[in-house]
Each structure stands twice: as structure tokens, then as C-alpha cells.
Chains A and B, each alone.
Chain A
Amino acid sequence: MTAYLQVAGLDHSFGGLHALRACSFTIEQGRITCLVGPNGAGKTTIFNVITGFLRPDEGSVVFRGRTLNGLRPQMIVHAGIARTFQNLRLFTDLSALDNVMVGIARQFGEEPLGAIFRPLHTARAQSRRRQEAIATLEHVGLADRAHDLVRNLSYGEQKLLTVARVLATGAELLLLDEPASGLSASALDAVMALLRRLQSEGKTLLVVEHNTRVVQQIADDVLFLHQGHLMAQGTPERIISDPALAEIYFGGAL
């Protein structure tokens, strides 16, 4: 049986920096996999390769039997993979609702001719999309902030919004880059509950995370990355309790 997501032999250098070395791993459908490792291990680089923002020197990415190499980022979203960014990259001058609506696929009125010559149809389609977007915001717990500008949201709310935006795309494999970092305890719980809820709805998650408590609580599998190479793979308990890995990660006990 072909793996859900298969990353094979990824190798990439940025000038003198060898970021990824023969990196290979597979992700199974319906599971939450955490990608951990020290800073500079190549986690975000892997995200960039999978989502088409970076063309690796070598290696392949195969999703549901389909090779994604060389596809542009928007095509990969259509294929079913969407990502968030560590530095959020929300549209700060737009409302939360608008941020989500940008992500909705196949909207009528996204090109000028339809917008000008069929204004009524555009308006009707828009109001339907708006309903969908509000439902997505409800799903992440932001429905009451729908019309607020992103710049006025708290950091925790902004993080939830990034998840809402990828949900709007309809992608089934979500790549989340540090969804829990920098959050208060209550916001953290909200995020973890959301991630588990998404899994129960059939989404597959690949999450970059530094917070070991989060990893322990939500991960089904853990991939430990070091210097661009997959060092270890296993359950959270096994990875976290491994002293050699702790040494690499912290220079001490976990």
C-alpha cells in the first residue's frame, strides 16, 4: 500500500549551508505527526519543500501516489496539502472573516470579468461563501471576532485564525508550523483541543512543535530531525525518554 505522504531522499543546500541531507520519512493518513528537533534542523525547510515554496536539489515528495515535485504552491493546495507559517503571515489590514475567505477555493468573482458583468451572481455567491467562512471561524472558536481586523486580535486568536485559513482551503493534510508557540496556558488548551477535533474529522496533521507537553498530548508519531536528517522516529514516549536525543535537543535532560 502506498504511503499517504512519502518524502524520499530530500537534499538541499543554501550556499554553504547543507540544510537537508538525504531526508526521508512517511506520514500515515489520519494521524497527528509531530516534527521535532533543534533549531536549524531543517523543519521549516521541509515544509517549504513539501508545499512547493522551495525546489530541493534532490529528492521527491509523493502524496497519495502523486508526485508533487516542481508544482507551484497553489497547485499543491489544490492537491490537498496546506500549511501555516511560524510568523503567521496573516493579512493584517483585513478582517478575520476576510482572511478566511481568501482561502476558500473556487469562488465566483475572483477574476474581473465575473465581478463586473455578473454583480448579482457574485454577491449571491459571496454571501454563501461568507456563511461557510463563519462556520469555519466557529469551528476554531473565533466566530465572535469575525469582523475585527487582524491587527486587533490577540496573539492566540491570530494563531487560531491561521488554522481557520488553512481549513478554508479544504485541504486534508495540514502542515502546521508551531501552532502552539507563544501562547498562554488557556490558549494552548484551546489549540490542542482544536487539533484533536480536526483529527477526529478526518484531517491528517504534520505539526512542527517545540513544546514537549504539546507533543506528548497530541502526537501519534514523532519524527526527530537533526542537521537535515531524520534521526529517530517513534511514539512520543519513546522519543522524549531517549537520553541521546535529549542531549542533542537541549544539551541535557528533557
Chain B
Amino acid sequence: MDFLYSYIVLAEIYVLLGLSTNLLVGIAGIFSVSQAAVFGVGAYIVAHFMMAPDPLSFIPSLAIAAVGCVALNILVTLPALRVSGDYFVVTSFGIQLLATAVFTNWTAGTGGANGLPGIPPPDLLGLPIETTAQYAWLCTGAVVLGCLGFFLIMRAPFGRLLRAIREDETAVAAAGKNVLRAKVSAAALAGAFAGTAGGLYATFLSFIDPSSFDLDASILLLTMVVVGGARTLAGSIIGPFLLLALPQLLTLVEIPTTIAAAARQLIYGLLLIMFMLFRPQGLAGERL
């Protein structure tokens, strides 16, 4: 039972990441391979503040992480998108590789390659969250809030503006709207989701290391959105649940552990190619 709860918790954390990636890639149409870096920044920030000499409790730490990731995304997307989308591709790769370098080498801040152990469990305004079942409730609450936020955005003029931008940016500018501001806002929001997911992840596993936040992880996040489906709530939920079940399915096939990671990433790559060629709308989404 505990195992099922763990799966649900992780899947829900990745649903938040899925919403984040969907906002950025699916809705705003910005190609990003740095989502995992932002996820990592959120995780390390929460870990830092909860383990500081004068520790903060969970909610304040989470708030700082969310704000920090919002700022990071704005800082990264604003100058790059002002030039062009392809510029941002380079920026995104750069941010991801730079983040991995920081996570791995800034030992004082992040524990370096060995990671950061001993992250305390979270508390909800004094109420401690310790068992996996309680954790599942916390994450479900977070996901419900996240989905609600996503739903409200898409229903609002902002959502319509983003859909129009995806179709024809020039026409949107000709209609008097600031395209850059809309895209950067979407990116900022994506940062908030990713940072929150990071905080939940860090406190759930109580140990984080750079390998969860590298380029391969960003590719996994893209794959979740591609498979689940772009721009829809359903897609953001299905993708993570399916893809997190994949490693379990793989254990049924006998793959030596030395190549297990490569095998997984290989499958993600194949999924990306296949879906782009044959089903760009994913299982439950709209055409990318």
C-alpha cells in the first residue's frame, strides 16, 4: 500500500511539473529543456531554508522557492525571447547545463555530487506530514490547486491570448497585444509550478542530488507532455502517471541495471519521435 502511495505522490509531483512544462512548451510554444533545472532550484531552495541554522517551516520555504523560480524563469526568458525562439533554445540548453554544473560543483550550497541528505519532512502550518499516506493527501491538495489555477488561466483572456499567440504572433501584435509580456508571464507561472514541485520532492525523498535535475530529466518532462498531450489538463495528468509507471513495467523485462537508465532514456527519445511523427496531439491533448 505504501508503494502505491509513493507512486501517487511522485506522479502528482510530476503532474505539477507537467502543468509547468505544458504552460511553457504546450501553450506558450517555447521549447524548453531546462524545466528540470528550475525543478532542482526549487528543491534546493526549500532544502536550504528548512535545514538552515535558523530553519523556516515548509510553507514559507515553499513560497520562497516559488518566487525564486518565477524570478529565474523571467530572467531567463525575457532577454532571450526578445531576440527569437531559437535564441531561447540555446539559452535553455545553457541554463540546464549551467544548473547541473552548479548543483554538482557548488558543494557548500548544494552538497555537490553527493547530494543533500536529511531534509526534514514538511508540516502544514504546524501539522506534521510524516507518513506516505499523509504525503499523498498533501500532494493531492497541491495538484488540485494547481489544476484549478491552470483551468482558471485557460478560461481567462490570458489563456485565449496565449492560444492566439501560438497560432499567429504577428496578428496578435497587430491586434494591440504585447506578445513578449504574455510569453514571459507564462514562463513565470511555469516557474511557480516547478518550484513548488521541487519543494514537495525534496521533503518527500528527504534526499536530493543533481542526477534528478539534469538534461535527461528535462527530456523526461518533455516526453510526459508530448505523450499525455499538450495544452490540456488531462494531458498534464495522464503523461506523468503513465511515464512514471514505465520504469516499473521495464523491470518485468530483464534489463541489466548498468543499462537500465540508458534504456529508459532511449524509450523517451523514441516516444518523442513517434509521437511527433504520428500523434502530435498526444493521448489527450491538442496538436503541438
Answer yes or no: A and B touching, Cβ < 8 Å.
Answer: yes
User: Which residues of A come within 8 Å of B, CB atoms?
Assistant: 51, 53, 72-74, 77-78, 82-83, 85, 89-94, 98, 101-103, 105, 107-112, 114-116, 119, 122, 126, 129, 165-166, 168-169, 171
Q: Which chain B residue shows the least CB distance to A115? A: B156
- Do residues B149 and A116 form an inter-chain contact, with CB atoms below 8 A? yes
Residues of B within 8 A of A115 (CB): 152-153, 155-159
- Do residues B176 and A90 form an inter-chain contact, with CB atoms below 8 A? no
- Do residues B164 and A102 form an inter-chain contact, with CB atoms below 8 A? yes
Residues of A within 8 A of B176 (CB): 73-74, 77-78, 82, 103, 105, 169, 171
- Do residues A102 and B172 form an inter-chain contact, with CB atoms below 8 A? yes
- Do residues A126 and B175 form an inter-chain contact, with CB atoms below 8 A? no
- Do residues B160 and A98 form an inter-chain contact, with CB atoms below 8 A? yes
Given contacts A102-B160, A110-B158, contact A116 B174 (CB under 8 A): no
**A–B pairs, 15, beta carbons within 8 Å:** A53-B173, A77-B175, A77-B176, A85-B171, A89-B168, A94-B163, A94-B167, A101-B157, A101-B160, A111-B181, A112-B189, A115-B152, A165-B175, A168-B175, A169-B176
- 0/1 per residue, B176-208, Cβ < 8 Å to A? 111101100110110000000000000000000
Q: Which chain B residue shows the least CB distance to A171? A: B176
Kindly state whether residue B170 has any CB partner on chain A within 8 Å.
yes
Q: Which chain A residue shows the least CB distance to B167? A: A91
- Do residues A77 and B174 form an inter-chain contact, with CB atoms below 8 A? yes
- Do residues B152 and A119 form an inter-chain contact, with CB atoms below 8 A? yes
- Do residues B157 and A107 form an inter-chain contact, with CB atoms below 8 A? yes
Kindly state whether residue B161 has any CB partner on chain A within 8 Å.
yes
- Do residues B174 and A89 form an inter-chain contact, with CB atoms below 8 A? yes
- Do residues A91 and B153 form an inter-chain contact, with CB atoms below 8 A? no
- Do residues A53 and B167 form an inter-chain contact, with CB atoms below 8 A? no
Query: Across chains A and B, which 5 residue pairs bring their CB atoms closest together, nearest first?
Result: A77-B176, A115-B156, A89-B171, A109-B156, A73-B173
- Do residues A91 and B174 form an inter-chain contact, with CB atoms below 8 A? no
Question: Which of B149, B158, B168, B174 has most A Cβ within 10 Å?
Answer: B174
Question: Which of A112, A115, A126 has most B Cβ within 10 Å?
Answer: A112
- Do residues A73 and B174 form an inter-chain contact, with CB atoms below 8 A? yes
- Do residues A102 and B174 form an inter-chain contact, with CB atoms below 8 A? no
Residues of B within 8 A of A107 (CB): 157
Residues of B within 8 A of A90 (CB): 168, 171
Cβ-neighbour of B152 out of A83, A116, A169 (below 8 A): A116
Residues of A within 8 A of B155 (CB): 115
Q: Which chain B residue shows the least CB distance to A84? A: B174
Q: How many residues of B contact A (CB 8 A)?
A: 30
A160 to nearest B CB, angstroms? Answer: 16
Given contacts A102-B172, A105-B176, contact A126 B167 (CB under 8 A): no
Residues of B within 8 A of A129 (CB): 157
Question: Which of B152, B159, B168 has most A Cβ within 10 Å?
Answer: B152
Q: How far is the CA of A165 from the CA of B152 in the complex (A)?
A: 25
Residues of B within 8 A of A82 (CB): 174-176
- Do residues A109 and B158 form an inter-chain contact, with CB atoms below 8 A? yes
Residues of B within 8 A of A122 (CB): 152, 156-157
A70 to nearest B CB, angstroms? Answer: 15
Q: How far is the CA of A111 from the CA of B162 in the complex (A)?
A: 10
Cβ-neighbour of B174 out of A51, A94, A119 (below 8 A): A51
Q: How far is the CA of A111 from the CA of B188 in the complex (A)?
A: 11
Residues of A within 8 A of B161 (CB): 102, 110
Residues of A within 8 A of B173 (CB): 53, 72-74
Question: Which of A72, A89, A90 has most B Cβ within 10 Å?
Answer: A89
Q: Which chain B residue shows the least CB distance to A73? A: B173
Residues of B within 8 A of A93 (CB): 163, 167
Q: How far is the CA of A119 from the CA of B151 in the complex (A)?
A: 11
Within 8 A of A (CB), among B92-150: 149
Given contacts A89-B168, A94-B160, A107-B157, contact A112 B185 (CB under 8 A): yes
- Do residues B185 and A103 form an inter-chain contact, with CB atoms below 8 A? no
Question: Which of B153, B171, B185 has most A Cβ within 10 Å?
Answer: B171
B89 to nearest A CB, angstroms? Answer: 24
Q: Which chain A residue shows the least CB distance to B168? A: A89
Residues of A within 8 A of B156 (CB): 109-110, 114-115, 119, 122, 126
Q: How far is the CA of A159 from the CA of B238 in the complex (A)?
A: 40
A13 to nearest B CB, angstroms? Answer: 22
Q: Which chain B residue shows the least CB distance to A169? A: B176
B176 to nearest A CB, angstroms? Answer: 3
Q: How far is the CA of A90 from the CA of B188 in the complex (A)?
A: 28
Cβ-neighbour of B177 out of A74, A89, A119 (below 8 A): A74
